[in-house]
Each structure stands twice: as C-alpha cells, then as structure tokens.
Chains A and B, each alone.
Chain A
Amino acid sequence: MAFTLYSLLQAALLCVNEPGIKSQLTNLIRSVRTVMRVPLIIVNSVAIVLILLFG
C-alpha cells in the first residue's frame, strides 16, 4: 500500500513538473476558448432572450 501511494505521488509530481504537459494544457485551453467563443455567444444570447420572454 505504501509503495503504490508513493508511486502515485511521484506520478502526480512528474505530471505537473513536465514542461510538455503544461504547454499542452495551455494549448488545449486556448484552442477550446477560440473554438467555443462564437457558439457560446449565440447560445448565451438565445438564453437571455428566452429568459426575458418567459421569465
């Protein structure tokens, strides 16, 4: 049990400290924001209109 907990901790540390993962994560978040920007604007506008109409 102690061995696996330690290796879990080690894996988590490796994960966070890897420069590759940080850049991949930032890339992912930036690309998701770029892709979802326009659809989210549309969806939010529709939601606002519906809420104004139907309370």
Chain B
Amino acid sequence: GHEIEDLEFGGVHSAGMPGPASKRRTPASPPGMADPHQLFDDTSSAQNRGYGAQRAPGGLGYPNTSASAQAAFLADPVSNMAMAYGSSLAAQGKELVDKNIDRFIPVTKLKYYFAVDTVYVGKKLGLLVFPYLHQDWEVQYQQDTPVAPRFDVNAPDLYIPAMAFITYILVAGLALGTQDRFSPDLLGLQASSALAWLALEVLAILLSLYLVTVNTDLTTIDLVAFLGYKYVGMIGGVLMGLLFGKTGYYLVLGWCCVSIFVFMIRTLRLKILAEAAAEGVPVRGARNQLRMYLTMAVAAAQPLLMYWLTFHLVR
C-alpha cells in the first residue's frame, strides 16, 4: 500500500511538471528580434531601393522599426487620438460581427470539420498518397449525423486543406526564392490565384450537380474539403522538385496525381452515385452513366489543376 501511494504521488507530480516546464520554455526570444532587419529577405536587386524607402515610415507592426521612430510616432497627440478612435471603431465592428456571424458563416458546423487529432491526420495523409489498399470508404453515421473526423478516417475535414493551402503558399515562396524571383507581393498573388481557382472549381461542380439533379448529401463545405486535398500532392511535388529538379517533380507529382484521382473517384462515387455504388453494381442506365462521367470529370480536374498551379514554380 505504501509503494502504491508513492507511485501515484510520483504520477501526479510528473503530470504537474509540463506546466512550469512550458512556462520556462515561452520566454524565448520572439522571432525577428535576433536579426531585426531580416523580416522579409527580398532577393530582387532591382527593387532594393524601393523597399528600403517603403519600409522606413510605415513600421507600425514590424518589430524591426527603430525604437526612436516608434516613440516619436506614439508621442504625437493627433496620432494618439487617431489610434484611440481607430481602436474604438474596431471594437464596435467586432461587436457587430459577433452578433451577426452565425447568419453568414455556420460557425458550429465549421467546428465539426476541425475536430481532428494527430492519428486522423496521419492516417488521412497516408490515404491521400496511397489510397489503393483502403477497403471501406463509407462514412460512419451516428443517429443521422456523420461522425466527427476524429473517429472516422473517411470523414472530410477542413484542417488538412487549410494547413496544406498555407503550406503551399509558403513552399511557393520558398521555390521562388531559390530562383531569385521572390518578392513579398508574389505570395499574395499565389494565394489569391489558388483561392480563385478553388472558388471556380466549387462553383462549376455545384452548377453541374444542380444540372444533373443529383440527390446527394454533399454539402458545399464537404466539397471545399475534398477539393482542398489536392494541395497535399502539390506541396510534395514542389518540394521534390526543389530537391531533385524536374525529374523528381514529375515523378512525385505524377504519383500524387494518380492517387488523388483514385481517392476522389472512390470518395465521390459514394456521395454522387449513392444507390448504385452501395451495392457494388456496375453503373448502367443513362442517368447513372451521366453521374459516373461527372465523378470522373471532377476527379480528372484535380491532376490538371495540380499541374497548372505548380509547374511555374519548378525550373
């Protein structure tokens, strides 16, 4: 009895350890403070003077502004008033947004798509790259609502697409930087063009689903999640292209294209061709054939877009 008490006490004590340990870890030097002038390393020599002139006056948010310039900026009474007014305006706007947010963006439904854990993310990434051995693609239901992604590897989530999109933007910046073609506004350009293609895809697929009168439970957010999975393959391709040149890029991109194609077909078949696919019957009849062609078209658009959005990054 005495040893057991000691072990329990040891267990409780070790559970309490991460607390002060994590507190000790946080006062590391914040990024940017070590080298204050390296926030955006621009490699385009022609724009060097322009950036130097641009960065000097507008240093409100950057930690690399010199302390004297910032102090002079804040001491001015007019700018003080302007800051106070601006912050009160922001607070009012925030109240308004908080009151009306649920009308425009279904926040509670979005939370479902981010209920993931590490095991799910690992299994899903493996499934995206190698979907050939997975047998059961049905999403499990629990009293009429689909189970959270944490408990079912087939459920769509928005965590992987969101993270993959951001990583794609960063990797695109990295790739452009290694070719001396980088400038910070190119990041915004890449992000908005990828988002525009995504929006176009979603609209086109929604339109074709409406025209073919498919009775499906595929929601718009589900569709965004499925279409966002291709960024994983794009990241892999660009990274391999950075490491091993064009052959590596084509190899990995080709592999990821085929995997995404198979993944999309097997996932969408269950959503669009629900009755036929559930029994495993080969599709017959004009309507089913049309739905099958629609699924194949959606799946074939993924490799095309993957190539279109990355080929200019690898030289």
> Which A residues are within 8 Å of any B CB, using their own CB?
7, 11, 14-15, 18, 20-21, 24-25, 28
B210:A18 contact, CB within 8 angstroms: no
A14:B290 contact, CB within 8 angstroms: yes
Chain A residues with CB below 8 A from B286, complex form: 14, 18
A7:B210 contact, CB within 8 angstroms: no
State A7–B294 Cα separation when bound (angstroms): 12
Chain B residues with CB below 8 A from A25, complex form: 211
Restricting to B266-315, which residues have a CB under 8 Å from any CB of A? 286-287, 289-290, 293, 297
State A38–B49 Cα separation when bound (angstroms): 51
Inter-chain CB contacts under 8 Å: number? 24
In the complex, B195 has a CB within 8 A of chain A = no
A21:B212 contact, CB within 8 angstroms: yes
Interface residue tally on B, bucketed by range: 10 to 19
Q: A-side binding surface: helix, strand, loop or mixed?
A: helix
Q: B-side binding surface: helix, strand, loop or mixed?
A: helix
Chain A residues with CB below 8 A from B289, complex form: 14
- Shortest CB distance B209–A (Å): 11
**CB nearest neighbor in A for B297:** A11
A11:B290 contact, CB within 8 angstroms: yes
Chain A residues with CB below 8 A from B213, complex form: 20, 24
State A14–B285 Cα separation when bound (angstroms): 11
A7:B293 contact, CB within 8 angstroms: yes
State A15–B290 Cα separation when bound (angstroms): 7
Restricting to B12-44, which residues have a CB under 8 Å from any CB of A? none
State A15–B291 Cα separation when bound (angstroms): 10
Chain B residues with CB below 8 A from A15, complex form: 290
**CB nearest neighbor in A for B292:** A11
**CB nearest neighbor in A for B213:** A20
State A20–B212 Cα separation when bound (angstroms): 7
Chain A residues with CB below 8 A from B210, complex form: 24, 28
**CB nearest neighbor in A for B300:** A4
A11:B212 contact, CB within 8 angstroms: no
- Shortest CB distance A14–B (Å): 5
10 contacts between A and B (CB under 8 A): A11-B290, A14-B286, A18-B212, A18-B286, A18-B290, A20-B213, A20-B287, A21-B211, A28-B210, A28-B211
Chain B residues with CB below 8 A from A7, complex form: 293
Closest 6 CB pairs of A and B: A11-B293, A24-B211, A21-B211, A20-B213, A14-B290, A14-B286
Chain A residues with CB below 8 A from B287, complex form: 18, 20
State A25–B213 Cα separation when bound (angstroms): 11
